[in-house]
């Protein structure tokens, strides 16, 4: 499990924070855990990942890309499931290939949802 140095909110000592992402019930879940010598400890999970932790995951595990090869189904999916505006859909209609970038876990979760809708895609590491 990766870790970052973090300041304990109680005693201000620098401690190691263990963190990671996983998929739970189809959604990306971020979790972190730490214990300080002062007795303060925390186990947290959230669907929102702090940017510094996300950047660290990408630095450690690479940047991943999802390429959507079925534009019409992909646009329909984005409009219905993610409530993309018609303006955004019109912009995406102009691009040759619809792509998304993020952590491996983020791309896998999105890919799983798209595949359930019959959308052809590829996920690959780009960095």
Structurally, what CATH architecture does the domain formed by 3-61 represent? Single Sheet (2.20)
Given this model, what pLDDT does residue 85 score?
92
Average pLDDT over residues 100-117: 96
- Per residue, the 3-state secondary structure of the chain, as one string, reads CCEEEEECCCCCCEEEEEEEEEEECCEEEEEEEEECCCCCEEEEEECCCCHHHHHHHHHHHCCEEEEECCHHHHHHHHHHHCCCCHHHHHHHHHCCCEEEEECHHHHHHHHHHHHHCCCCEEEEECC
Higher local confidence (pLDDT), 67 or 3: 67
The span from the CA of 27 to the CA of 100, in Å, is: 16
Residue 50's pLDDT band (cuts 50, 70, 90): confident
Mean pLDDT of 94-108: 95
Distances (CA, A) of 36 to 2, 52, 53, 85, 98: 17, 21, 19, 46, 45
What pLDDT score does 63 carry? Answer: 97
Rounded to the nearest 10 degrees, the angle between the axes of helix 71-81 and helix 86-94 is 160
Q: How sure is the predictor about 1, in pLDDT bands with cuts at 50, 70 and 90?
A: low
Contact 99, 110 (CB under 8 A): no
Residue pair 34/6 in contact by the 8 Å Cβ criterion: yes
Domain ranges in the chain? 3-61, 64-125
Whole-prediction pTM: 0.82
């Amino acid at each position: 499990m990766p870790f970052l140095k973090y300041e304990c909110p109680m005693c201000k000592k620098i401690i190691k924070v263990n963190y990671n992402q996983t998929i739970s019930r189809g959604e990306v879940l971020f979790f972190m855990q730490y214990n300080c010598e002062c007795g303060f400890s925390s186990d947290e999970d959230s669907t929102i990942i702090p940017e510094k932790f996300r950047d660290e995951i990408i630095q450690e595990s690479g940047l991943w890309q999802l390429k959507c090869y079925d534009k019409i189904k992909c646009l329909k999916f984005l409009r219905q499931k993610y409530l993309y505006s018609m303006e955004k859909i019109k912009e995406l209609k102009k691009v040759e290939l619809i792509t998304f970038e993020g952590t491996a876990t983020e791309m896998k979760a999105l890919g799983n949802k798209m595949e359930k809708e019959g959308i052809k895609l590829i996920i690959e590491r780009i960095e």
